[in-house]
């Protein structure tokens, strides 16, 4: 079946674009074009887009804010669905916060703070969405997002709705069952800890200040490229292997934070991968440790 582009544009309340440059949707500013790019206006849109893709046997990929993504220079075939502003409802009821998967993490942290709910301070400086954070079990400062999750409403690639509780999500370090089970996060119920708004704000400010001092935020990057090996720090191993400042084309191991690779301008996915391999090799030679990528690859590699 050839793809009914017109039909998709008519049934979706959100936006549909064709040959969309993915570098506009990744924090690294890297990536070729997506054949079909959908911004669902709500969960019904999401289901409609999935259903049409299934009928046309099109591959579907899901993204949030693209802050943990390396998109191929050759782009992404099929349909890319970006879970963003269309799924960004947020509602506080007592200690519970009901949040759409497209809500940016700093917004969740700010709403929790204004509601005097603690436990979300570490999210203030993480630029992803709630959906992306759940998939990756994003964390910082000794906390991880999974700790605050009560319930998730997800959709499978057939468009069927699934409810999962905290245990069923199988959270572990920078991981959950969501990628393996091919589930798309639509909405999340969090539980906060009653606290004091001023104290929460002070904690958020100190975390943000620390990031400004220790992370190369002036250049496009995707946060930590590698997961920390158990009981160790990937950044420390990379630095002690003499990799700080190492370059492949316009991608550089940040001289400021060795686990961040920065795009100095016009860098490519191929250059990122070449630098990943070089760094992995150096760290392996020096410490016998194989670093594993935290950043997710998307598209044709």
Ligand X SMILES: Cc1cc2nc3c(=O)[nH]c(=O)nc-3n(C[C@H](O)[C@H](O)[C@H](O)COP(=O)(O)OP(=O)(O)OC[C@H]3O[C@@H](n4cnc5c(N)ncnc54)[C@H](O)[C@@H]3O)c2cc1C
Judged by CB under 6 A, the residue of 69, 200, 204, 238 near ligand X is: 69
Of the residues 17, 77, 96, 174, only one is catalytic, namely 174
The answer to whether residue 181 is catalytic is: no
Residue 224 annotated to the active site: yes
Residues in the chain: 301
Q: How far is Cα 99 from Cα 87, in angstroms, rounded to an integer?
A: 8
The Cα 108–Cα 14 span in angstroms is 23
Using CB under 6 A, which of the segments 36-44, 66-74, 201-209, 242-250 binds ligand X?
A: 66-74
Decide: is 259 part of the binding site for ligand X (CB under 6 A). no
- Write the interaction track for ligand X spanning residues 91-120; mark x where CB under 6 A is met and - where it is not: ----------x-------------------
Among 14, 86, 132, 192, binds ligand X (CB under 6 A): 132
Q: Does 151 bind ligand X (CB under 6 A)?
A: no
127 binds ligand X (CB under 6 A): yes
Q: Are 151 and 190 in contact (CB under 8 A)?
A: no
Interhelix angle 197-214/105-114, rounded to 10 degrees, is: 150
- The tokens describing 237, both together, are 């191993």
233 is an active site residue: no
Measured CA to CA, the distance from residue 206 to residue 27 in angstroms comes to 23
Interface stretch with ligand X, choices 39-47, 122-130, 231-239, 273-281 (CB under 6 A): 122-130
Site track for ligand X across 17-46, x = CB under 6 A: ----------x-------------------
* Structural tokens at position 257: 């934070």
- In the beta sheet, which residues pair with residue 262? 252
How many Å apart are CA 258 and CA 153, to the nearest integer? 37
Residue 185 or 282: the one with the smaller Cβ distance to ligand X is: 185
Residue 283 to residue 252: CA distance in whole angstroms: 16
Comparing CB distances to ligand X, the nearer of 82 and 282 is 82
Instruction: Report the DSSP beta bridge partners of residue 175.
Output: 172
- The residue with tokens 């990929």 is 61
The site string for ligand X over 177-216 (x = CB under 6 A, - otherwise) reads: -xx----xx-----------------------------x-
Q: How far is the CB of 166 from ligand X (least distance, A)?
A: 17
Q: How many of the chain's residues bind ligand X (CB under 6 A)?
A: 33
Distance in Å, CB of 283 to ligand X, minimum: 20
Enumerate residues 278-297 that contact ligand X by CB under 6 A. 296
Least separation in angstroms between residue 294's CB and ligand X is 7
Nearer to ligand X, 135 or 204 (CB): 135
**Enzyme catalytic residues:** 174, 224, 294
Interface with ligand X by CB under 6 A: which residues?
27, 62-69, 83, 101, 126-129, 131-133, 135-136, 138-140, 178-179, 184-185, 215, 217, 221-223, 296
């Amino acid at each position: 079946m050839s793809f009914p582009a017109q039909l998709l544009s008519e049934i979706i309340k959100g936006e549909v674009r064709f040959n969309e440059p993915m570098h506009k949707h990744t924090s690294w500013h890297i990536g070729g074009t997506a054949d079909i790019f959908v911004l669902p206006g709500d969960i019904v849109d999401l289901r409609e887009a999935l259903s049409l893709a299934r009928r046309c046997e099109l591959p579907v990929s899901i993204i949030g804010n693209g802050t943990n993504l390396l998109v191929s220079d050759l782009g992404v075939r099929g349909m890319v669905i970006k879970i963003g502003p269309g799924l960004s409802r947020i509602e506080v009821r007592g200690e519970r916060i009901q949040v759409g998967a497209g809500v940016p993490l700093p917004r969740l942290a700010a709403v929790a703070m204004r509601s005097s709910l603690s436990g979300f301070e570490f999210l203030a400086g993480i630029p992803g969405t709630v959906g992306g954070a759940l998939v990756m079990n994003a964390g910082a400062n000794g906390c991880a997002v999974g700790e605050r999750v009560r319930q998730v409403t997800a959709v499978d690639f057939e468009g069927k709705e699934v409810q999962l509780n905290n245990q069923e999500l199988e959270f572990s370090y920078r991981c959950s069952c969501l990628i393996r089970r091919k589930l798309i996060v639509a909405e999340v119920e969090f539980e906060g800890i009653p606290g004091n708004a001023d104290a929460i704000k002070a904690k958020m400010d100190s975390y943000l200040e620390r990031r400004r001092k220790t992370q190369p935020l002036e250049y496009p990057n995707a946060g930590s490229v590698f997961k920390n090996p158990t009981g160790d720090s990937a950044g420390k191993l990379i630095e002690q292997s003499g990799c700080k400042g190492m370059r492949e084309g316009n991608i550089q191991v940040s001289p400021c934070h060795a686990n961040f690779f920065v795009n100095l301008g016009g860098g490519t996915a191929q250059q990122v991968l070449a630098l990943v391999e070089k760094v992995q090799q150096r760290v392996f030679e020096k410490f016998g440790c194989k670093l594993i990528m935290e950043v997710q690859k998307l598209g044709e590699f």
